Amino acid sequence: MMKADLPMTRDLVLVGGGHTHALVLRKWGMNPLAGARLTLIDPAPTAAYSGMLPGFVAGHYTREELDIDLVQLARFAGARLIMARATGLDLEARAITVEGRPPVAFDVASFDVGITSAMPALPGFAEHGVPAKPLTPFAHRWDAFRAAEGPARVAVIGGGVAGAELAMAMAHALNQRGRQAEIHLIDRSRALTEATVTGRRILVDALVRLGVTVIEDASVAEVRADAVVLEDGRRIASDFTVGAAGARPHDWQTKLALGLEGGFISVGPTLQSSDPAVFAVGDCAHLSHAPRPKAGVYAVRQAPILLENLEASLAGGVMRPYRPQSDYLKLVSLGDKTAMAEKWGRGYSGATLWRLKDRIDRKFMNKFRDLPVMGQPDLPSLYAEGMAEALGPKPMCGGCGAKVGRGALTEVLARSRGATRPDVESVAGDDAAILKFADARQVISTDHLRALTFDPYVMARIAALHALGDVWAMGASPQAATASVILPRLSDGLQRRTLAEIMDGAGEVMAEAGAAIVGGHSSVGSELTIGFTVTGLCEAPPITLEGARPGDVLILTKPLGSGVIFAAEMASAAPGGVVAACLAHMQQPQGAASRCLAGASAMTDVTGFGLAGHLSGICAASGVAAEVVLADVPLMDGALALSEAGQSSSLLPANRQGAGVIIGADGPRGDLMFDPQTAGGLLAAIPEARADEVIRQLLAEGYPAARIGRIVEGPPAVTFL
């Protein structure tokens, strides 16, 4: 039996995408522990590597070179990635509390959340300062500041080696851009005291060479938008003030019901905390048996020990102790492509040391590049005809990318409509039917999705919004829903946890939409599938595919691209930031958009058949043609680049074949017109006189809506111009 066929029985939750956890994920992906479900919680889709941060600040590395892509790494490890901020630990409930969503249950947990250099007690810092740690938000803020024009005034609070390294990197970057740079390094006592005598001399010389002014024995009284005010009254002009003074644990970490040392999680030789089911590594941990300064080299060397001990905790094995080295080679960037090295109390500098540091850093980052990609299973030596063609060249997509093509579905539905009833009205091509009562009209529809993310909570939200799309597309108000869930094989405990996450996510969406979940059904299968049957009430005549008239303007409320992005994500080819933005688009409800589009001549939601297929359905039902300006169709960030790189959904060929009469739509941008969308936007035909006002209303409601074309006279066809 394959590992994938075995039931999951235990939850391992990694909190934070630090260096140790990143290495654990990589090793886990190569040989996962059977029966363990792995979860990573981190607020960002990427994690900056500390070793390359000064080089990035100086301009020697791009942002892509700096970041570990947690989305791609989680996919490789078979882990669900929860992009949210951890806020605490409930030991009694065995759960991690998370910002903006229900707690995440665990059997074994590990913390690798790093540290912060925020200064909450310093007046004005929260509003105007930039903590050097966490690294990812700092890198984002610096990227924007470095790209600006004109004079640059920077102040770094904290005259340790880390602060000096950042000051030198910033000075080099700004000088290279030709900006008039004014950099100050401020310390409350003597700067660079942790360096050796030789090392301090090297650093001071480098600071002077780059024009950095060092201010010692100066306490900061206040940070303002344009200055740092010292306690002696001096005012240091600064438009970018960085906090690099020391290392503090995150505020929520200091409140954990664990053994703490100065707010850091105290761990023993096995990296376990006072609760044996909770581990901690990296800068957020305090090694009670062998205290060490905060340094990435320790975090990296903890990874194999942590992995072995996590597996032992989950499977009942024997723990190994972690024994940190007594000293290590310290490599410090000096702004330009030179570096200083310190070990055993001696210091050196030069370009050769920069090349050494660069080689070490790139070797580390290469561990997370070119991860093996999931492919199709090998065919047996003997198989029935047609199997290779049915299997296709790539794994089947999730979401709407896993649906049957429009042509096959339309053909089958046309001959299996069931009994004709006077109180049931349907329009050819519409996904919802209209139930007629004495004075009311009720719409009903059903939809289900093969999971495209391992996160049941997010997947349930997407599936619920996707199902509601048919109700909103008819101009109806959501009324009721029943759930249909297929779970993969899980232990009883994990079944309960997973169902709770699904119903929490779906319940939030339905409650916000005004619909009640009135029941549901569940079963066990090979993978997670979530669906809903939904009803809605129409106060006005329902909007169907019929009714589009020549002269109507076509308006789309969401950009396209979810199909190609998640096809690429399955192949570890989609940047994490692109995937995160796509998930945000898919979780945007369309209720307010539906109200803005009230009175549309015709409307549909853009889902599995892609824009071309769904617009073709409007044309066929209304007896008209459509013209779309290809360049005016909004696309999700990264979608076009992925299409140009040859990425596509497994449903793309069927969508092209079954879309009806399509003229144009060639090339990578054209492929996106057939891209299957999951929880996509609304596509409406609006009378010309109302179009500008409707666009204004949609934009005011936060929708990235766009006018993409118009309805014209002619036989049903869609022309892309």
Residues labelled as active-site residues: 400
Q: What does DSSP assign to residue 243?
A: E
Structure-token pair, residue 187 = 């310390």
Judged on CB neighbours under 10 Å (0-12, 13-18, 19+), 550 is middle
Cβ proximity of 474 and 543 under 8 Å:
yes
Calpha distance 695→708 (Å, rounded): 11
Q: Give the type of residue at 202.
A: I
Q: Which of 447, 405, 486, 370 is nearest to 650 (CA)?
A: 405
Q: Coil, helix or strand for 511?
A: helix
3-state secondary structure 372-394: CCCCCCCCCCCCCCCHHHHHCCC
Calpha distance 531→469 (Å, rounded): 13
Q: Give the type of residue at 6.
A: L
Q: Give the type of residue at 513.
A: A
Cβ proximity of 273 and 279 under 8 Å:
yes
In sequence order, what are the beta bridge partners of 131? 243
Calpha distance 637→689 (Å, rounded): 31
Q: Which of 560, 535, 546, 692 is nearest to 635 (CA)?
A: 560
Number of alpha carbons in the 13 Å side-chain half-sphere of residue 70: 28
| Alpha-carbon distances, residue 476 vs 346, 534, 556 (angstroms) | 75, 11, 18
Cβ proximity of 118 and 125 under 8 Å:
yes
